[in-house]
Amino acid sequence: MFDKLTEKISDAFRFVAGKSTITEKNIDDAVEAIKMALLEADVNLRVVRRFVNSTIEEAKGEKVLRAVDPGQQFIKIVHDKMVSFLGDTEKGPTGRPAQELQLKGPDTITVILMLGLQGSGKTTSSAKLALRLKKEGRKPLLAACDLIRPAAIEQLSVLAGQIDVPVYKEEGTTDTLRVYRGALDYAKKNLIDTLIVDTTGRLQLDEPMMEELSRLKDLSKPDELLLVADAMTGQSAVDIAKAFEEKIGLTGVILTKFDSDTRGGAALSLKTITGKPLKFVGIGEKPEDFEPFYPERAAGRILGMGDVVSLVEKAQEVIDEKEALELQKKIEKETLTLEDWLEQLRAVKKMGSLKSMLGMIPGLAGKINEEDLDKADLKYQEAILSSMTRKERQNHLIIGPSRRARIARGSGTSVAEVARLLKKFEKMRVMMKRMAKTGKGMSMPGMLS
Ligand code: GDP
């Protein structure tokens, strides 16, 4: 669903990614490319403007321009902005994030009104939600309160049968409130904890529908008012959501037909335009084809690099900027010691599996020599370095043959291995100095090869 957008945004990052310094012009170029990508994906113009302005404002701050790895900082800003445009982290009435379903405890009945136009997928989504809640151990009841569409009651009954969830219906009446009362009564008598109400939908927004829904809302005092909207209709799904929010009030939105070939603009615009989060997406016709919407994951998918963001966060946890800058200076002055190397090794170890870490960087894993990633090798290196005295680590030139033998014994390795490590270190110092001079910065994998 976001494929095209992902491709374009990844392309936009080429202006900043991998550079050791970036300029305001680089940021402008990247943001302009992101703007085009969002517009092409049918994201609402107001949303695009807001996104672009807030990204530029933050990205041009000191934090990015002076960062050790400005490209990744920039990507992280775009990612975080996208998460906040996609989702709601504020608390809902039950204390859970407003993004999630607000369910009361099992002793009270949670009421969920499903709203939407005909054909949006409202009836199907009611059954999908019921199945999901049933799997979570709740006892849902489907109430057939769409009394306008001729086949709606029958369709809901068939779906309820398929997922083995009870359905409450009354044939031959047009009184929605009466059916609702009947359903609530049934729910109380049958230990139901969640009442999912399939309400009346019409072909277009009209007053009679809104009035009926208002009355139903007043009577039922629902915990959730979920609008079901068809993602394939793009921006008009957002307009419909806005109208429902203004007339009835919503707590969230379900976008159906997310499996179709839509461009994703509706998903990205909903929260900003209506103020209400997208809570679920429908991804097929079957009752199981239903997923909660996770803003973090969606943003990761859109940027095509969700894992890189967590990698940057992880790296920020273990290496602070000042330390990294000091290291850089040492490299330039060729005063880097084995002591620094040991520190780096430990930092890498703290980040978790090296292989998985490198696997998070798109296109990098394949380019790195397998041997360099050998964890056992890292362990050896750490053992050897730990067996040296601090003095030796601060000046490796004092490590003569007898010291090498002692270090080998202490670390359970051989003299040859100690010698290999020292040689590697010498080579690395030269290489890193060269890298620092050419302005390419240094990378962790470089230190380990
Ligand atoms: P209602 O009039 O709003 O109750 O709409 P329905 O629930 O009857 O759905 C209309 C059509 O859309 C049906 O053919 C559904 O099978 C289909 N539909 C609903 N949700 C999805 C979805 O997430 N993906 C796909 N591909 N089809 C869906």
CA 302 to ligand 1 center in whole angstroms: 25
Reported as a single tens digit per residue, the pLDDT across 193-217 is 999 999 998 888 889 899 999 999 9
- Could you tell me which residues are beta bridge partners of residue 167? 142
137: left (phi over 0), alpha (psi -120 to 50) or beta: left
Tell how strand 290-292 and strand 278-282 pair up.
Answer: antiparallel
- Those residues whose C-beta lies under 8 Å from the C-beta of residue 51, and which sit 6 or more positions away, are 34, 35, 38, 43, 81, 82, 85
- Those residues whose C-beta lies under 8 Å from the C-beta of residue 13, and which sit 6 or more positions away, are 30, 71, 74, 75, 303, 305
Of 147-161, 295-309, 328-342, give the lowest mean pLDDT range.
295-309
Confidence (pLDDT) at 364? 42
Q: Determine which residue's CA is closest to atom 9 belonging to ligand 1.
A: 121
Share of the chain above pLDDT 70, in %: 81
CA 246 to ligand 1 center in whole angstroms: 25
Confidence (pLDDT) at 180? 97
Q: What integer is the mean pLDDT of 151-162?
A: 95
Whether 278 has a pLDDT exceeding 90, the answer reads yes
Per the CB < 8 A criterion, the answer to whether 48 and 35 are in contact is yes
Angle, nearest 10°, between helix axes 152-163 and 122-135? Answer: 20
Atom of ligand 1 nearest to the CA of 122: 3
Instruction: Select from 118, 123, 124, 132 the residue to mutate for testing ligand 1; criterion: most ligand atoms less than 8 Å from CB.
Output: 124
Confidence (pLDDT) at 367? 43
> Confidence band (pLDDT; 50, 70, 90) for 96?
confident
Whether the predicted model's global pTM rises above the 0.75 cut: no
Tell how strand 278-282 and strand 110-115 pair up.
Answer: unpaired
Q: Determine which residue's CA is closest to atom 26 belonging to ligand 1.
A: 284
Pocket flag, ligand 1, residue 291 (CB < 6 Å): no
More confident residue, 192 or 439: 192
Whether 5 has a pLDDT exceeding 80, the answer reads yes
Pocket flag, ligand 1, residue 285 (CB < 6 Å): yes
Atom of ligand 1 nearest to the CA of 128: 20
In whole angstroms, what is the distance from residue 72 CA to residue 76 CA?
A: 6
Cα–Cα–Cα angle for 431, 433, 438, rounded to 5 degrees: 95
CA 224 to ligand 1 center in whole angstroms: 21
CA 118 to ligand 1 center in whole angstroms: 9
Q: What integer is the mean pLDDT of 71-89?
A: 87
Q: Determine which residue's CA is closest to atom 20 belonging to ligand 1.
A: 121
CA 116 to ligand 1 center in whole angstroms: 12
In whole angstroms, what is the distance from residue 316 CA to residue 335 CA?
A: 24
CA 286 to ligand 1 center in whole angstroms: 9
In whole angstroms, what is the distance from residue 411 CA to residue 403 CA?
A: 12
Q: Determine which residue's CA is closest to atom 6 belonging to ligand 1.
A: 121
Pocket flag, ligand 1, residue 121 (CB < 6 Å): yes
Confidence (pLDDT) at 307? 47
In whole angstroms, what is the distance from residue 285 CA to residue 136 CA?
A: 21
Per the CB < 8 A criterion, the answer to whether 241 and 253 are in contact is yes
In whole angstroms, what is the distance from residue 202 CA to residue 289 CA?
A: 24
Q: Please provide the DSSP assignment of 369-415 as one string.
A: -GGGG-HHHHHHHHHHHHHS-HHHHH-GGG--HHHHHHHHHHHT--H
Atom of ligand 1 nearest to the CA of 124: 7
Place of tokens 């599996």: 353
Q: What integer is the mean pLDDT of 61-90?
A: 82
In whole angstroms, what is the distance from residue 174 CA to residue 278 CA?
A: 31
Reported as a single tens digit per residue, the pLDDT across 308-361 is 555 555 555 555 556 666 766 776 677 778 888 787 777 766 655 555 455 444
Reported as a single tens digit per residue, the pLDDT across 379-423 is 788 899 999 999 999 888 899 999 999 999 999 999 999 999 998
- The mean pLDDT value of the chain amounts to 84
Q: How many CB atoms lie within 10 A of CB 357?
A: 20
- Could you tell me which residues are beta bridge partners of residue 110? 194
Confidence (pLDDT) at 49? 95
Cα–Cα–Cα angle for 287, 178, 203, rounded to 5 degrees: 55
Instruction: Select from 123, 153, 285 the residue to mutate for testing ligand 1; criterion: most ligand atoms less than 8 Å from CB.
Output: 285
Tell how strand 140-144 and strand 278-282 pair up.
Answer: unpaired
More confident residue, 72 or 329: 72
Instruction: Select from 213, 233, 256 the residue to mutate for testing ligand 1; criterion: most ligand atoms less than 8 Å from CB.
Output: 256
Confidence (pLDDT) at 321? 58
> Which one, of 156, 169, 95, 84, lies nearest residue 126 by Cα?
156
In whole angstroms, what is the distance from residue 385 CA to residue 54 CA?
A: 47
CA 281 to ligand 1 center in whole angstroms: 12
Reported as a single tens digit per residue, the pLDDT across 428-437 is 777 766 655 5
Confidence (pLDDT) at 234? 86
Q: What integer is the mean pLDDT of 287-302?
A: 86
Q: Determine which residue's CA is closest to atom 16 belonging to ligand 1.
A: 285
Whether 109 has a pLDDT exceeding 90, the answer reads yes
Pocket flag, ligand 1, residue 120 (CB < 6 Å): yes
Pocket flag, ligand 1, residue 282 (CB < 6 Å): yes
